[in-house]
Amino acid sequence: MEIQIGRAALQLKQGDITRETADAIVNAANSSLLGGGGVDGAIHRAGGPAILEECRRLGGCEPGDAKLTTGGKLPARYVIHTVGPIWHGGRSREPEILASAYRRSLEVAMAKGLRSVAFPSISTGAYGYPIEKAARVALTAVAEFLQSHPEIERVTFVLFSSPDLQVYEAALQSIHLS
Ligand code: APR
């Protein structure tokens, strides 16, 4: 599924984000930036040690912030590491931190002059954020950013499973962007 927002394309697809050829792919990291499981593990495995070597020099990352490294052996030139909120029931600013993770990732991409970014479904795995809620926050934050920053030309959400893709497609329709 793909829609236009201004001149930008917002695309939803199922796949493995380590295979994406966007200028940057976003990693759902933890605040140490020293690797983990899930998509974090997949990106470090596929991208090789150069990514972790750069991560070590970044001094970690706050939830809601984002930092850039090389893409190593990945098809993508860069990895933008961001830290989503751990779900604690929704009354600990989880929506705000999740929106910030998406916004800051796009700001970091723009500052580097990148035009295309691919996101995983941040915080909806180990961090337990209910995916229906996360999808609405994510798509709203990205759409708002694209409306005011034409420098970013393409954002792709790469969902690891078909059910996850369906949740994002329903969310996109329900926030009237499609
Ligand atoms: N490509 C795309 N999406 C993927 C991939 C992949 N190769 N592998 C996993 N995912 C999906 C998961 O299915 C989930 O929908 O990424 C989403 C985010 O799940 P996690 O990777 O568990 O990330 P998150 O919930 O943000 O938890 C972050 O987990 O791996 C650790 O170091 C990480 O501590 C941090 C925590």
Ligand 1 pocket by C-beta < 6 Å: which residues? 16-18, 28-30, 36-42, 84, 120-127, 158, 160, 164
Closest protein CA for atom 24 of ligand 1: 123
- Counting DSSP H helices and E strands in the chain, the numbers are 5, 7
| Average confidence (pLDDT) over 74-83 | 98
How many structural domains are present in the chain? 1
Distance 113 CA to ligand 1 centre (A): 26
Distance 128 CA to ligand 1 centre (A): 10
**DSSP single-letter state for residue 146:** H
CA angle 46, 73, 84 (to 5 degrees): 55
Report pTM.
0.98
* Spatial CA neighbour of 9 closest among 156, 119, 169: 156
Range of the domain at 108: 2-174
| Residue 40 known to be catalytic | yes
pLDDT value, residue 172: 96
Rg of the chain, C-alpha, whole Å: 15
CATH code (residue 22)? 3.40.220.10
Say yes or no to pLDDT of 169 above 70.
yes
